[in-house]
């Protein structure tokens, strides 16, 4: 009996990113690249790119010469592993025993599910149906051991059979490059003409061990299923706060619909797994600079299905305007509740309070929203307008490095003034800066007294004299 | 102090030789200082004088006193600026910089207050203490102690350098300086800190800060200067800014600094002249001694006249020691049996020929002595000497040993920002993503001569020009181009001093251990007329010596380079067939193309051949006219008798650099000095565009002398084409010498030729495999590497018909040479007996596996799989864990199939002497209807053919628009493919990536030149992969 299934996603990161975009964008050739030593090579490519001759492992320079319109992005194994975890959560609805094999694989124990899904074929069908919702390229294979299933799937062989003999035959054919062994080991095996896994498995274990060490005998035992390392199975998290990075800057809410759909699909999986529902979501759109745009969404009833989540969210979002382009989108499930549980009070009675600032702030944040609680920060910039900013409250706020004599009261807008009204005390402090974001100022600042002996901060620029703040 | 200072002095200026700190070139600062009316400008780069010579050039003949100095940053002290008063002071500064630099690795320095004590008696010191705001008592005390120390040491030569740049803490610092001045009786001088020359440079300076900190600029705003007042301000601005007494102090300081770089006099190492003789006498003696050898039948009158003229000029310019130094080096090389050859303009000199520095008989070419050395130019002659690349180090060690490390160091090379690095660094500073920048760079074809990089980018990415960031990227990348980035070492230019080199110029550590470099590069040295001796490395000389040695060993023929018979017709016939793989300089694909067209018949033809296949002549469209005239298809005409004299020997087409210069003189009326400026402009016109200023002068000059506009334009185009790529005739002649020698050896002693070449790799154009395939095509039997017969090097063995070439173990990748040689020394006469014996003699397990993989253990353990299997078992015996298992009988493994053997051969050695993979495919009927390379000669001109082969080379010359030359190799030889751009585009994938390329096309035969013009391309790599063979990487688009 082949008790294991293995799902391999050879282009997971790219496919996932494309899944967040309108489908027509997937027809553009796209690829992910990564540097290895001095070479930068393609590690994933979409079908459009592959059809035009781009290959995995091809040098980036060559690929982009071959397909000049090829869009390239950086590969990131951490991001890919995060996506794998999100996928595990989706599949957890059908499969109880999942092992993460980052960055691109998921291993499933099948035995325990045979009854539930009416046999092996039923399990496979169920899984395929679930994956249909996701435009991901994958290879699914069975195996009599975790390693046999993994090697087949990772090498692109989909053997779906209950017969160990079928798997054995396919494994024997597998070139040694696909053994998953470390490169030096593969090299050693090739050097003695052992070019397939079958050739290796035929040899007496003792002779192999004498030449290649214990690692290879362990490997053979693991492949045969005689020995298996303890697996650590996946447990779904109890909170949902996921973020997806967009491949391009997005300027309007309708363009965010695709990534939002995907996220809400995950929300449904999450709620389903726990048999929960929710009444509130927090959607955040992240920008290059500045705080994220937050859109809290309240549902009148507790909901858990994607279509319900989506329709209301869409209503909310259509009324919003995006002030800045969006680079990432995230969704947080707030206050999930058991589907059976009775309704709870909107705000539960206050607990015993600690008087620490943190506790106060977090309560304020809970009531008003995170962005509403802000504190003053000094930003390193010579331009006064850019120096003081309000930022969402952070407990470990660090102050800027520039210690300059600045008035406590800076006018929001400098006011034109007459030079004669002032008696200059100190100056000038000359500030000519800010060309990089096309907001150059060129001013000579003075500290000066007015006729009532009030200390003001005034400046001269090519437009004349202005009052910009008060020291007292 | 009376009145205001109208002509101020700038005493603290950083140039861009304070890498990533200074935002202007030295000459920009000088020009700005002159136009603002400064009376003095001090260049004070941080622990460096690398930029001063360039400033000196700019300030010559300007009403500006250039002061040499340097800035040092000391912890707890602040900034110290040392200014040089006189020649002694200059030496003291150089010594201080050398000391500070030697303590630290390349590019950094370490200096302490003690270093300034008692060592700078002829310098002035400006001090910028680091007051913290608000300052703590501890700091005030530290400052007070330092003030006492400095005052005690420097007395009246010490100032506080107050700089005001309108910042928030001005008032506080003003009072701090005043207090310190009164308390310790140290005068204050107004000394601005100048980081760039004009206000607009603030942008670039901000970017430099971000680059230095490797962070986007927007996150580093606190590190930027708050305004533009770090430029060289106008005298009026300075008067508003400082008390006039303090400004006057800075003028007082400037007036005390009287040193000028022109005072530096190079003193030669004296030990080369025997006591009691003058250098001139000694040189004359050596030259005539050499002349007896070089001209055994006596000196012809005209040669003697030339010789005397040279000696006179050398004496007049006092260059005797320079010649003697080089003579000494080549003497050393001769004694050690190291081959060498002088080249460059030195080959124009009879003296060099007599001193055995060069090997080109000046009789063979028309030497232009003025090109080598001239009184008018008054600049050091240029003598490059190439030595065998494997033994150059011996010569370098000789220099160090003879003169000592304190007297000899390498010249520097200034590494500058080029487009790629500039766009990347500026882009990152502006917050562009790496991936974006790589994308932009890919859109730029630097060989495109029609549009510059900005136009190209805007065409392909129009949006970029519409954003503020994009516009900044364009402007600032352009501004940073050419900025020095760091100092590196010159390939082999040594500066040797008579006593202490660091009296002349600071010396710092190079990245290579045990090497030191001075802070000036070759241009600086040339400006100051300091001499450098170029000790260069050339692989072909190594190969030639090895060839001669083999001939001596196996043919009992003692040959020196000079003994090789001249003008051998058989050698030229071989070259006319383009049979030149491995021959020096004329082995590249382009050269091989030219050989059957140019059909060299004499030495001078080779000189032309080498010079003509260069980007210069090709871009200047000189090749085709020359060929047509040579073939008699076009009349040889000259617009005038004067032009005829210059161009006659190259059939009216300018091919050599000297001809272009002479042409400017005779046809456009340039003076010798102007012509020389033109030569320099030609050498770096791409970077500076300097050449354009000569355009109108040249064309007007020629028009005025009655030449047609068309002729004038053509000559100018040719000069532009030459750029830095044109060869001087003498240089080409030196190369032709080696080309002829190596061709003669290939023709008469092919086995020795290939053997020595293979033993000298890496060098030249071809890989070991390509050389071996060529050797086999010349019917040389190649014997496989074998543990019982091979040495480390390849060797010749007598047997069969003539010499056979036995491959050596050096082919095996990753094998340790010293371990292998130790093993081979112990090899018994009857050979090794077992694998175990190899281990017993000390061979490591890893090396044993490499030997087994390379299939050289056949005699001991059977085929490569089996010998590897057994060698693995040997290693295991060392592991106690499996000790009990070794009793198990050894399994017999199946032998590898032929294609597997070939594949592993390539993988382990890069070479296979089994059948060619194409032969295997043909045997399997996979290449039906495909012609062999050797069959093409029998085809009709314009016949349709199919050919297939491994791609060994893809070349897309920048000069030939849109055409790619591909070389294919099959079992019978090489096939030259021409692919036009349209075809390349249509079959883009095969064109770019195929290892095995199958071509349908038309064969073109012009005499010996055979090409296949590709019509269809097919990628056959898959067929190769099915064999399990992955070919070596081809040389692509170099």
A243: closest CA among A255, A230, A256?
A256
**Dihedral (C-alpha) B326, B329, B335, B338: value to the nearest 10 degrees?**
-100
Check residue A350 and give its pLDDT.
43
- Cβ atoms of A106 and A97 within 8 Å: the answer is no
Tokens found for residue B60: 């010559």
Residue B372 clears pLDDT 60, i.e. is over it = no
Strands B795-798 and B123-128, by their bridges, are: unpaired
The fold adopted by the segment(s) B917-1036 is OB fold (Dihydrolipoamide Acetyltransferase, E2P) (2.40.50)
Q: Name the residue with tokens 């890989």.
A: B767
Which chain B positions have a beta carbon within 8 Å of A205's beta carbon? none
Work out the minimum CA distance from B407 to partner chain A, whole angstroms. Answer: 39
Identify the DSSP state of B382: -
The residue whose two tokens read 């320099």 is: B680
Phi and psi dihedrals of B712, rounded to 5?
A: -65, -45
Instruction: For B754, list phi and psi in degrees, rounded to 5.
Output: -70, -40
Phi, psi torsion values for B908, nearest 5 degrees: -90, -25
The token pair that represents B660 in the structure block: 């272009």
Q: Does A359 touch chain B (CB under 8 A)?
A: no
Q: Is A430 close to B894, i.e. CB distance below 8 A? A: no
Cβ-based neighbours of B598, under 8 Å, separated by 6 or more: B605, B608, B609, B612, B627, B630
A365 to chain B, minimum CA–CA distance in Å? 28
Those residues with Cβ within 8 angstroms of residue A251's Cβ, 6 or more apart along the chain or in another chain: A322, A325, A326
Structure tokens at B196: 């760039």
- The domain spans of chain A are 4-224, 241-339, 409-470
What phi, psi does B165 have (nearest 5°)? Answer: -125, 30
Q: What pLDDT digit, counting tens, does each position of A146-168 carry?
A: 999 999 999 999 999 999 999 99
Query: How many angstroms separate the CA of residue A247 from the nearest CA in chain B?
Result: 12
pLDDT at B886: 47
Quick one: closest CA in B to A52, which residue?
Answer: B989
Is it the case that residue B371 has pLDDT exceeding 60? no
pLDDT more than 70, % of chain B: 92
Asked if A211 lies within 8 A of B876 by C-beta distance, the reply is yes
Instruction: Find where tokens 């004067």 sit.
Output: B642
Query: Is B614:B716 a contact under the CB 8 Å cutoff?
Result: no
Closest Cα in chain B, distance from residue A317 (Å)? 29
A349 Cβ neighbours under 8 A, 6+ residues apart: none
- Reading the block at residue B953, the tokens are 């080379």
Chain B residues in contact with A35 (beta carbon < 8 A): none
CB proximity under 8 Å: A 381-420 to B: 381-382, 400-405
Instruction: Say if CB B485 and CB B421 are below 8 A apart.
Output: yes
* B954/A399 Cα distance (integer angstroms): 58
The residue behind tokens 């040579």 is B630
- How many degrees, rounded to 5, is the angle at CA A188 between CA A182 and CA A189? 90
* A99-150 residue pLDDT tens: 999 999 999 999 888 888 889 999 999 999 999 988 899 999 999 999 999 9
Specify the pairing of strand B1035-1036 against strand B944-955: parallel
Backbone torsions φ then ψ of A426, nearest 5 degrees: -150, 145
The fold adopted by the segment(s) B9-197+232-263 is TIM Barrel (3.20.20)
pLDDT in tens, B809-845: 999 999 999 999 999 999 999 999 999 899 889 898 8
User: Cβ separation of B872 and A192 shorter than 8 Å?
Assistant: yes
Query: pLDDT-derived band of residue A348, with 50, 70 and 90 as boundaries?
Result: very low
- Taking the C-alpha atoms of residue B993 and residue A53, their distance in angstroms, rounded to an integer, is 10
Cβ–Cβ gap A429/B170 under 8 Å: yes
| Percentage of chain B modeled with pLDDT above 90 | 56
B865:A193 CB<8 A:
yes
Higher pLDDT, B302 or A398: B302
Backbone phi, then psi, for B980, in 5-degree steps?
-80, 160
| Rounded CA separation B1012/B119 (Å) | 73
Ranges of each domain in chain B: 9-197+232-263, 562-738, 783-909, 917-1036
β-bridge partners, B738: none
Across B674-684, average pLDDT = 73
Question: CA-CA distance, B159 to B245, in Å (whole number)?
Answer: 13
Chain A segment 35-64 residues within 8 A of B by beta carbon are: 52-53, 58, 60-62, 64
Rounded to 5°, angle at Cα B355 from B352 and B357: 60
Backbone angles phi and psi of B560, in degrees to 5: -110, 165
**Cβ atoms B978, B1002 nearer than 8 A:** no
Q: Is A436's CB within 8 Å of B217's CB?
A: yes
> Which residue from A minimizes the CA distance to B868?
A192
* Predicted confidence (pLDDT) at residue B1034 exceeds the cutoff of 70: no
The total number of residues written for chain A in this structure: 472
More reliable by pLDDT, A450 or B374: A450
Vertex B791 angle, CA B788 and B796, to 5°: 100
Phi, psi (degrees; rounded to nearest 5) at B990: -65, -40
Among the listed residues B681, B714, B686, the one whose alpha carbon sits nearest the alpha carbon of residue B699: B714
Q: Is the ipTM of this complex over 0.95?
A: no
Are A326 and A286 in contact by the 8 Å Cβ rule? The answer is yes
- Kindly determine whether residue A210 and residue B430, on different chains, have CB atoms separated by under 8 Å: no
Is there a contact between A404 and B876 if contact means CB atoms under 8 Å apart?
Answer: no
- Check: CB of residue A73 under 8 Å from CB of residue A32: yes
- Interface contact B2, partner A, CB < 8 A: no
CA angle in degrees (0–180, nearest 5) for A467-A468-A471 = 100
Cβ burial of A28 (10 Å; 0-12, 13-18, 19+) is middle
Which residues does B25 contact at the CB level (< 8 Å), separation at least 6?
B15, B16, B54, B482, B483
- Beta carbons within 10 angstroms of residue B809's beta carbon: 25
Residue pair B413/B487 in contact (Cβ under 8 Å)? The answer is yes
What is the predicted pLDDT for the residue at B889?
Answer: 58
- Of B805, B718, B713, B803, the closest CA to residue B768 belongs to B805
Distance of CA A83 to the CA centre of its chain: 7
Residues 6+ apart with CB under 8 A from B265: none
pLDDT digits (tens, 9 = 90+) for B395-412: 999 999 999 889 999 999
| Chain B nearest CA to A194, separation (Å) | 9
Three-state DSSP at B1001 gives: strand
- Looking at residue B845, the DSSP 8-state letter turns out to be H
- Bridge partners, A286 (sequence order): A328
- The overall average pLDDT reported for chain B is 88
pLDDT, average across residues B512-541 = 89
pLDDT-derived band at B34 (thresholds 50, 70, 90) equals very high
Q: Do the Cβ atoms of B849 and B871 come closer than 8 Å?
A: yes
Q: Give the pair of three-digit tokens for residue A448.
A: 């000066």
pLDDT of amino acid A313: 84
**Cβ B891–A62 below 8 Å, yes or no?**
no
User: Taking a contact as any Cβ pair under 8 Å apart, which residues of chain B between 467 and 506 contact chain A?
Assistant: 468-469, 472
Packing angle between helix B419-429 and helix B468-480, nearest 10 degrees?
A: 140
Task: Nearest chain A residue to B986 by CA: give it.
Answer: A66
Chain A to chain B Cβ contacts (< 8 Å): 124
Q: Compute the mean pLDDT over every residue in chain A, rounded to the nearest whole number.
A: 86
Query: Which residues are within 8 A (CB) of B716 and not within 5 positions of it... i.e. 6 or more apart?
Result: B695, B698, B699
Q: What residues form DSSP beta bridges with B954?
A: B966, B1036
Q: What share of chain A is helix, strand, coil (3-state, %, to 5)?
A: 35, 30, 35
- Helix residue ranges, H only, B797-916: 817-825, 835-840, 845-853, 858-861, 864-876, 898-909
Query: Which residue from B304, B387, B318, B316 is spatially nearest to B351, judged by alpha carbons?
Result: B304
CA distance to partner chain A, nearest, from residue B167 (Å): 5
Supply angle C-alpha B527, B532, B536, rounded to 5.
Answer: 130
Residue A289, helix vs strand vs coil: coil
Superfamily of domain A241-339: DNA polymerase, Y-family, little finger domain (3.30.1490.100)
Residues of chain A positioned with their CB less than 8 A from the CB of B222? 380-381, 400-402
Mutate one of B163, B226, B901, B964 to test the A interface: name it (highest A CB count within 10 A). Answer: B226
Looking from the CA of B822 toward its CB, the CA atoms found within 13 Å total 13
Residue A399, pLDDT score = 46
Residues of A in contact with B435 (CB under 8 A): 72-74
In the numeric block, which tokens belong to residue B596? 């059957």
- Residue B600 confidence (pLDDT) above 90: yes
CB contact under 8 A, A429 and B864: no
Largest CA distance in chain A: 103
Q: Are A260 and A307 a contacting pair, CB within 8 Å?
A: no
Among the partner-chain residues A62, A210, A381, the one whose CB lies closest to the CB of B873 is A210
Q: Please report residues of B whose CB lies closer than 8 A to that of A426.
A: 171
Answer positive or negative: Cα dihedral of B391, B396, B397, B402.
positive
- Spatial distance between the Cα atoms of B423 and B457, rounded to a whole number of angstroms: 12
Q: B615 pLDDT exceeds 80?
A: no
Place of tokens 């400064």: B38
The H or E element that residue A415 is part of is strand A409-416
More confident residue, A255 or A223: A223
Distance between start and end Cα atoms, chain A = 85
Closest CB to B893 among A190, A193, A433: A193
Tens-place pLDDT, residues B310-332: 899 888 888 888 899 999 999 99
Neighbours of B113 (CB within 10 A): 16
Residue B484 has, within 13 A of its CA and on its CB side, a CA count of: 25
Structure tokens that stand for B628 in this block = 């047509």
**pLDDT at position B1035, please?**
59
Look at residue B134 and tell me whether its pLDDT is greater than 60: no
Cα Rg of chain B (Å, integer): 34
């Amino acid at each position: 009996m082949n008790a294991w299934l293995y799902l391999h996603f050879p282009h997971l990161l790219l496919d996932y990113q494309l899944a967040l975009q309108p489908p027509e964008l997937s027809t553009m050739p796209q690829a992910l690249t990564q540097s290895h030593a001095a070479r930068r090579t393609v590690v994933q490519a979409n079908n459009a790119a592959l059809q035009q001759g781009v290959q995995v492992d091809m040098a980036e320079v060559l690929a982009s010469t071959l397909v000049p319109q090829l869009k390239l992005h950086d590969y990131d194994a951490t991001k890919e592993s995060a996506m794998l975890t999100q996928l595990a959560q989706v599949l957890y609805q059908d499969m109880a025993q999942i092992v993460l094999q980052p960055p691109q694989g998921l291993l499933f124990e099948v035995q325990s599910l045979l009854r539930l899904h009416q046999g092996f074929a039923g399990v496979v069908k169920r899984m395929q149906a679930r994956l249909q919702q996701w435009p991901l390229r994958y290879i699914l294979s069975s195996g009599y051991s975790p390693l046999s299933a993994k090697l087949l799937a990772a090498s692109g062989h989909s053997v779906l059979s209950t017969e160990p003999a079928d798997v054995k035959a396919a494994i024997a054919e597998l070139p040694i490059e696909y053994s998953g062994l470390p490169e030096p080991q593969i090299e050693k095996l090739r050097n003695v003409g052992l070019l397939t896994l079958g050739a290796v498995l035929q040899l007496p274990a003792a002779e192999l061990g004498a030449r290649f060490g214990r690692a290879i005998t362990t490997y053979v035992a693991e492949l045969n299923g005689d020995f298996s390392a303890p697996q650590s199975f996946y447990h779904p998290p109890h909170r949902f706060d996921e973020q997806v990075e967009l491949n391009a800057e997005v300027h309007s809410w309708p363009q965010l619909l695709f990534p939002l759909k995907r996220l809400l699909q995950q929300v449904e999986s999450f709620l389903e797994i726990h048999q929960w529902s929710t009444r509130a979501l927090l959607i955040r759109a992240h920008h290059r600079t500045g705080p994220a745009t937050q859109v809290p969404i309240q549902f009148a009833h507790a909901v858990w299905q994607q279509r319900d989540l989506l329709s209301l969210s869409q209503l909310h979002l259509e009324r919003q305007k995006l002030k800045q382009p969006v680079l990432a989108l995230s969704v947080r499930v707030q206050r999930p509740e058991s589907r059976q549980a009775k309704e709870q009070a909107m705000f539960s009675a206050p607990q015993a309070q600690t008087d620490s600032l943190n506790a106060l702030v977090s309560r304020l944040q809970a009531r008003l929203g995170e962005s509403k609680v802000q504190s003053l920060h000094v930003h390193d910039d010579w331009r006064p307008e850019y120096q003081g900013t309000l930022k969402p409250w952070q407990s470990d706020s660090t102050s800027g490095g520039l210690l300059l004599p600045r008035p406590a009261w800076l006018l929001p807008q400098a006011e034109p003034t007459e030079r004669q009204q002032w008696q200059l005390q100190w100056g000038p402090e000359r500030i000519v800066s800010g060309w990089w974001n096309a907001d150059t100022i060129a001013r000579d600042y003075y500290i000066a007294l007015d006729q009532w002996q009030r200390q003001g901060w005034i400046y001269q620029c090519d437009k004349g004299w202005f009052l910009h703040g008060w020291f007292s | 102090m009376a009145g205001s200072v109208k002509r101020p002095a700038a005493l603290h200026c950083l140039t861009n030789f304070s890498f990533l700190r200074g935002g202007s070139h030295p000459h920009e600062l000088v020009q700005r200082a002159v136009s603002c009316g400064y009376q003095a400008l001090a260049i004070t780069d941080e622990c460096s004088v690398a930029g001063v010579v360039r400033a000196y050039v700019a300030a010559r003949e300007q009403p500006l006193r250039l002061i040499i100095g340097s800035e040092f940053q000391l912890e707890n002290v602040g900034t110290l600026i040392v200014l040089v008063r006189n020649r002694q002071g200059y030496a003291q500064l150089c010594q201080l910089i050398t000391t500070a630099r030697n303590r630290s690795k390349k590019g950094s320095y370490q200096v302490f207050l003690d270093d300034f004590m008692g060592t700078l008696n002829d310098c002035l010191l400006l001090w910028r203490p680091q007051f913290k705001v608000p300052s703590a008592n501890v700091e005030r005390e530290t400052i007070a102690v330092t003030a006492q120390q400095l005052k005690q040491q420097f007395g009246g030569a010490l100032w506080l350098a107050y700089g005001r740049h309108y910042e928030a803490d001005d008032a506080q610092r003003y009072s701090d300086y005043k207090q310190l001045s009164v308390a310790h009786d140290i005068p204050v001088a107004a000394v601005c800190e100048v980081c760039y020359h004009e206000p607009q440079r603030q942008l670039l300076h901000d970017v430099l800060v971000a680059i230095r900190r490797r962070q986007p600029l927007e996150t580093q705003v606190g590190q930027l200067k708050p305004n533009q007042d770090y430029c060289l301000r106008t005298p009026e601005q300075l008067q508003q800014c400082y008390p006039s007494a303090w400004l006057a102090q800075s003028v007082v300081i400037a007036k005390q600094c009287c040193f000028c770089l022109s005072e530096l006099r190079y003193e030669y190492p004296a030990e080369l002249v025997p006591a009691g003789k003058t250098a001139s006498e000694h040189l004359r003696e050596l030259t005539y001694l050499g002349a007896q050898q070089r001209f055994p039948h006596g000196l012809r009158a005209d040669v003697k006249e030339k010789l005397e003229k040279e000696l006179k000029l050398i004496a007049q310019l006092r260059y005797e020691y320079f010649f003697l130094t080089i003579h000494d080096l080549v003497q050393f090389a001769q004694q050690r049996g190291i081959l060498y050859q002088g080249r460059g303009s030195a080959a124009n000199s009879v003296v060099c020929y007599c001193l055995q520095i060069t090997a080109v008989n000046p009789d063979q070419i028309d030497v232009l002595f003025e090109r080598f050395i001239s009184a008018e130019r008054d600049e050091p002659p240029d003598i490059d000497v190439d030595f065998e690349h494997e033994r150059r180090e011996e010569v370098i060690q000789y220099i160090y040993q003879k003169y000592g490390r304190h007297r000899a160091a390498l010249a520097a090379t200034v590494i500058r920002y080029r487009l790629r690095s500039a766009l990347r660094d500026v882009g990152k500073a502006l917050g562009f993503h790496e991936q974006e920048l790589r994308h932009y760079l890919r859109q730029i074809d630097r060989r495109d001569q029609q549009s510059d990089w900005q136009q190209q980018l805007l065409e392909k990415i129009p949006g970029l020009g519409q954003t503020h960031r994009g516009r900044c990227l364009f402007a600032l990348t352009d501004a940073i181009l050419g900025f020095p980035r760091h100092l590196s070492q010159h390939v082999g230019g040594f500066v040797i001093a008579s006593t202490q080199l660091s009296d002349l110029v600071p010396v710092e550590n190079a990245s290579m251990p045990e090497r030191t470099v001075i802070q000036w590069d070759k241009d600086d040295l040339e400006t100051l007329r300091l001499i450098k001796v170029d000790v260069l490395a050339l692989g072909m000389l190594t190969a030639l010596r090895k060839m001669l040695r083999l001939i001596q060993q196996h043919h009992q023929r003692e040959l020196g380079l000079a003994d090789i018979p001249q003008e051998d017709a058989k050698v030229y016939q071989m070259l006319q067939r383009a049979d030149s793989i491995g021959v020096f300089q004329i082995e590249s694909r382009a050269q091989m193309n030219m050989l059957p067209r140019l059909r060299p018949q004499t030495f001078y033809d080779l000189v032309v051949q080498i010079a003509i296949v260069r980007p210069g002549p090709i871009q200047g469209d000189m090749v085709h006219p020359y060929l047509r005239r040579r073939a008699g298809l076009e009349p040889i005409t000259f617009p005038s008798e004067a032009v005829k004299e210059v161009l006659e020997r190259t059939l009216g087409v300018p091919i050599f650099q000297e001809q272009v210069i002479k042409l400017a003189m005779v046809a456009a009326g340039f003076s010798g000095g102007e012509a020389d400026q033109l030569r320099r402009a030609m050498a770096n016109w791409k970077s500076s565009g300097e050449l354009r200023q000569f355009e109108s002068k040249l064309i007007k000059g020629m028009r005025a002398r009655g030449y047609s506009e068309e002729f004038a334009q053509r000559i100018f185009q040719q000069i532009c084409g030459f750029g830095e790529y044109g060869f001087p005739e003498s240089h080409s002649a030196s190369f032709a010498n080696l080309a002829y020698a190596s061709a003669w050896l290939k023709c008469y002693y092919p086995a020795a030729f290939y053997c020595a070449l293979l033993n000298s790799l890496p060098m030249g154009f071809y890989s070991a495999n390509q050389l071996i395939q060529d050797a086999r095509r010349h019917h040389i039997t190649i014997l496989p590497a074998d543990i019982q017969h091979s040495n480390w090097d390849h060797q010749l063995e007598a047997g069969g018909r003539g010499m056979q070439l036995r491959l050596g173990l050096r082919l095996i990748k990753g094998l340790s040479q010293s371990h292998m040689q130790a093993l081979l020394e112990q090899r018994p006469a009857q050979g090794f007996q077992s694998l175990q014996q190899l281990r017993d003699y000390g061979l490591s397990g890893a090396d044993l596996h490499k030997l087994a993989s390379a299939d050289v253990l056949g005699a001991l353990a059977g085929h490569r799989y089996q010998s590897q299997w057994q060698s693995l078992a040997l290693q295991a015996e060392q592991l106690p864990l499996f000790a009990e298992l070794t009793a198990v009988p050894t399994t017999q493994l199946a032998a590898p199939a032929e294609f597997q053997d070939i594949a592993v051969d390539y993988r382990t050695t890069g070479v296979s002497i089994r059948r060619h993979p194409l032969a295997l495919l043909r045997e399997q009927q996979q290449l039906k209807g495909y012609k062999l390379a050797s069959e093409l000669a029998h085809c009709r001109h314009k016949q349709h053919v199919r050919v297939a082969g491994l791609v060994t080379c893809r070349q897309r010359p920048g000069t030939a628009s849109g055409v790619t030359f591909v070389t294919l190799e099959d079992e019978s030889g090489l096939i030259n493919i021409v692919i036009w751009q349209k075809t390349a585009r249509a079959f883009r994938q095969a064109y770019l990536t195929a290892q095995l390329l199958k071509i349908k096309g038309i064969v073109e035969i012009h005499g010996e030149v055979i090409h296949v013009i590709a019509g269809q391309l097919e990628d056959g790599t898959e067929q190769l992969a099915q064999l399990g063979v992955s070919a070596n990487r081809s040389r692509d688009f170099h």
